[in-house]
Structure 1
Amino acid sequence: MFARPNKYIGFLQFPNALTVFIAIMSCIEKHVETWWFYALMAAAGFFIVSSICVVLVTVINRCHEEEEITVRRSLEMGFGGLILCGIMPQIAVIVFRENLFIFFSIFLMCNMSALFIQFVFIGFYDFQIRHQVKPLKVIAFAFHLVLEIALFMYSLVTYDSLTCKIILGVISYYTICFICYTVSFVEVTVVGIRPVVHEPSSTGVHCNICDFEYNAEVNIPRLLIGCGHTICEKCIRKVKKFQIVVCPFCRKPTDLSRELPKNFAILEMIQELRGI
């Protein structure tokens, strides 16, 4: 029920991809010496991060737990990793102010890692928070605001005005682009998630849970006797509890003690469409 592409994946990470591209092109055009060495360091760090992500995803998927628990763990790791990717450059620009190439390396590594983490841990799940809790959002926003003010005040007291402007720019960028991940992490961890229920489409050719096309072999359209809605056989296996399945559209139960009938009208419709 969660396995649908997250339509916001490209939009959320577009600024990171753009800034990485601009930074690399600027170094090439200005013939900056040794930039490639720090770019290789960033690539090595990205390789380590991506390898850890692949291992974690494999472990999560092999736990054979309920889908909601698996998705929740994946989201917690994903949003947690994205928070780190947003905080590390803010600290790095202050610590390595005298060697901006090291900051450049950390900047590249964190931005590329954020793209990968978003894609692996979050990008394929369509979910909703169980219920909105406004104080949690206030806490998440306050965390970023306090961090930004503390880092900027420290740099204001310690460094010259030009350095402070650079630090303020970096802090503001990562605060704006990554604050939503802190909010999502707090909501997923504290409140929990639930799948997004999509209303049946007008054509009826695709399953409105997994979005795969119906067929007579694997994604067989089955009629829920309790309400008359149709979903595919694979999704019925996912949502059933013991010998009862609750319709994800109207919440009416259907007994599974007998095999559910196929929706031959949909199968005939598919055959007609393929024959055209």
Structure 2
Amino acid sequence: MTLKPPKASSATDFVVITYAVITTFLIIGAIFFLIFAPVVPANWILAAAILGSVLLIFGVLRLVKYVMDLCHEYYGTGRIERTRNEMMVGLSGVWICSTIPRIAAYFMGTNYHLIIYAVTVSLLTSFIFHFLFTYGFNQWCKLNYANSVMSEYALIPFHIVLLGFSVRISVSPENTENQNAALFLGQVAMTILPLISSWDLSVVFQNGLIWQGHKGKINKSVDQMTYMLIPCFTAILAILSMVFIGFSVSTVSNYCPTVGWTTVAVTVVACLLVGVVLGLFKILLVFIHEKLKKRTYDLVLMETIIGFSGIAIFAFLPRIVVFVVGCDVPIYLSSVIISIFTVLTFYRLFISPNQHLWRLDFSKNCNLILIIVGIHIIILVAAIRFAITYENPRDIEVIIWTQSVFSFLCLACVIDLAVVLKGGLVMVDEGNGDVEMGPMKKVKKEKKEKATGPECKICILPFNPSTVIPRMLKECGHTVCGGCADKLIGKQQLNQIVCPFCQVATVVGGVTKTLPKNFELLELI
């Protein structure tokens, strides 16, 4: 396939280029100012610090890119998976680095040299992330925006809430009117890039990256509600961690006391403990499933219930803790960081590994969803009403913003959990669409009639030598049945099959019978 020349192909491309052009003009103006203005040592020190920092960051990121390329070559990663990994790194870097100036304005007050340094280095680092890892993906892939428009719209109110919170903690009555106006405009200007980059990151995260030859089809169903908020809370965890460390090394704060290193150590140990305990629990769960020889659906259902239940519990936890600790920032930040880390760990261990095998059917549970939305609105209003009874204004602000931000995740995960418990978990067959799963009582009867053996991970049917023949995809080694292979090539409308598990393409020449049989699996039957 002839490679297309690199060009702007996503919303982030256009926004980053716009910001880069504006920043370039500002840097040129700053250079002329340094040359023709009276010599001020602080200005030259600032320029040298910016130049040195950017060169150092560029070298480190270039090394990271080189190591990623080596790993991709060593493990034989397919082009679309390689592009997805690079875009995840690039867009995450753009999002986090473009958010740093919004935090810097809070810590640095009216120290203009530090503000200029933080804003300039952060923006230039965002550009480096983008042009090293993201720009030029159009040579192989494209973003299928049409397949995820519904879920990405939830990012807009989420970023509006974060904008309000950022403006509130940045603007101070002690500042002049011009300073507050500048802070407000700066927060608004720096909201656009995080919003757009998080939008594209969510599209990539939801498998919206497809080959150039594919036709983007609109999928009117939503796989899950929690899925679209995970990138948001991942970024929040990174941002809060930076704030947490900032408070631990800062001696003066506009909003709260400093954080002791003991609190930092306890937070880190708690996060590590959460990861170890949940990881061991996951291993135990898989071990029990293999010993009992249950269906893949049973394990997927159990892990999904555990995952969404854990997310729901720890998404509610900060909303409860904030009523107790109020504006006690060391304890508050520690509890929020631990809660978000636990949420992400539950998602990574119990939801993410199997999410390509299933989707949630929301169409049959509309009334249930409306009831849950109504209950959460009542809880949110009641929580805000109760917060107003507090005497300390800062306690009121922290409680209201915590309730508002975490209400998104609470609502999403509770809806997903309720749909799963109501039988809305549907296994996905890439060729036929959805595979309806029977009740557990019927499953037990089927187990007596059918021998347990290897099964196709797409249609969940056991392999056999005559009808469900295991065919191996030569480029990646994954195995699918012949029927699913035929439907995959018909669905993708190409002379190749893109593996649904690792996205590596295998050329078949239009006939899937040329794919080799997996004789090792046939011997196990």
CA 1:45/1:101 → structure 2, altered by over 3 Å: closer, same or farther? farther
Match of 1:240 in 2: none
Shift of 1:230: 6.4
Is 1:219 the counterpart of 2:479 in the alignment?
yes
Alignment partners' CA distance in 2, 1:72 and 1:52: 19
Match of 2:408 in 1: 176
1:69-91 CA distance string (max 9 Å, x none): 22111111111111011100110
Bigger shift: 168-177 or 42-51? 42-51
Give the conservation status (yes or no) of the 8 Å contact 1:61–1:70.
yes
1:237-276 map, 5 Å: 265-268=511-514
CA 1:208/1:220 → structure 2, altered by over 3 Å: closer, same or farther? closer
The CA RMSD over aligned residues, in Å, is: 3.6
1:43-62 map, 5 Å: 43-47=271-275, 49-51=277-279, 53-55=281-283, 57-58=285-286, 61-62=289-290
Task: Select the structure of larger CA radius of gyration.
Answer: 2
Letter in 2 for 1:150: A
Match of 1:116 in 2: 345
Match of 1:185 in 2: 417
Residue 427 of structure 2, aligned match among 185, 195, 201: 195
Give the conservation status (yes or no) of the 8 Å contact 1:60–1:70.
no
Shift of 1:122: 1.0
Residue 16 of structure 1, aligned match among 194, 215, 233: 233
Give the conservation status (yes or no) of the 8 Å contact 1:93–1:100.
no
CA 1:172/1:71 → structure 2, altered by over 3 Å: closer, same or farther? same
Alignment partners' CA distance in 1, 2:272 and 2:409: 24
Unaligned stretches of 5+ in structure 1? Answer: 201-206, 232-263, 271-276
Alignment partners' CA distance in 1, 2:237 and 2:350: 21
Match of 1:241 in 2: none
Shift of 1:25: 1.5
Match of 1:25 in 2: 242
Give the conservation status (yes or no) of the 8 Å contact 1:49–1:113.
no
Match of 1:37 in 2: 265
CA 1:49/1:221 → structure 2, altered by over 3 Å: closer, same or farther? closer
Give the conservation status (yes or no) of the 8 Å contact 1:129–1:194.
yes
Where 2:429 maps in the other structure, the secondary structure is coil
Shift of 1:194: 1.5
Figure out how many residues of one structure are paired with residues of the other and give that number.
Answer: 225
Give the conservation status (yes or no) of the 8 Å contact 1:221–1:266.
no
Identity %: 15
Letter in 1 for 2:366: K
CA 1:93/1:48 → structure 2, altered by over 3 Å: closer, same or farther? farther
Give the conservation status (yes or no) of the 8 Å contact 2:482–2:512.
no
Alignment partners' CA distance in 1, 2:377 and 2:480: 51
Alignment partners' CA distance in 2, 1:220 and 1:38: 47
Per the normalisation by structure 1, the TM-score is 0.67
Per the normalisation by structure 2, the TM-score is 0.38
Shift of 1:169: 0.6
Letter in 2 for 1:170: T
Alignment partners' CA distance in 2, 1:167 and 1:177: 16
Unaligned stretches of 5+ in structure 2? Answer: 1-204, 208-223, 250-257, 433-455, 460-470, 489-509, 517-525
CA 1:181/1:119 → structure 2, altered by over 3 Å: closer, same or farther? same
Alignment partners' CA distance in 1, 2:228 and 2:421: 23
Match of 1:273 in 2: none
Match of 1:89 in 2: 318
Where 2:355 maps in the other structure, the secondary structure is coil
Give the conservation status (yes or no) of the 8 Å contact 1:72–1:193.
yes
Where 2:479 maps in the other structure, the secondary structure is coil
Give the conservation status (yes or no) of the 8 Å contact 2:279–2:349.
no
Q: Flag the structure with higher helix content.
A: 2
Match of 1:141 in 2: 373
CA 1:222/1:151 → structure 2, altered by over 3 Å: closer, same or farther? same
CA 1:46/1:268 → structure 2, altered by over 3 Å: closer, same or farther? same
Is 1:64 the counterpart of 2:313 in the alignment?
no
Give the conservation status (yes or no) of the 8 Å contact 2:429–2:458.
yes
Shift of 1:59: 5.1
Bigger shift: 148-157 or 60-69? 60-69
Match of 2:355 in 1: 125
Shift of 1:100: 2.8
Structure 1 stretches of 4+ with a deviation exceeding 6 A read: none
Where 2:326 maps in the other structure, the secondary structure is coil
CA 1:59/1:183 → structure 2, altered by over 3 Å: closer, same or farther? farther
CA 1:29/1:23 → structure 2, altered by over 3 Å: closer, same or farther? same
Shift of 1:158: 2.8
